[in-house]
Structure 1
Amino acid sequence: MKKKYQQFNWEVEKDENHHIKLTGSLKEKNREQLITLTAFKETDKYNILETYSYKNRGWNKEEYKKVLLT
């Protein structure tokens, strides 16, 4: 993820016995993008959850359509 989204600022949070969380954020003017990868430990394996959020202040119809199509 860090290679694919190099423009994001990345932070890592580790709880060795439970999970590892990688969070990338990108802030531009009135918008913010956030990618979170969380790996939850289950016995000897990890389950991975990926979430993406996009926040924008002052949306207009064209911006909304652009986000939906990308």
Structure 2
Amino acid sequence: MARDPAEEPEPVRLRVQRDGPLLVDGPVTVELDDGTTATSDRFRVALCTCRRSRRFPWCDTSHRRRTRG
């Protein structure tokens, strides 16, 4: 039986940034390694890939290099 393309879900868009977060078009539900979930209804979310964020799994820009001026 042929599938109707109109019934296919739209693919999720992810954007990988060098030395930065993973940007995901939302809303999203993220399942963490301990089995808990985190949900955001925003149109785009930044997921932490360095694990430095105090708001993990959401990025809080802790990955940025700190410079003293």
Q: So what's the TM-score if we normalise by structure 1?
A: 0.28
Point out the structure with max Rg over C-alpha: 2
Would you tell me which structure has more strand in proportion to its own residues?
1
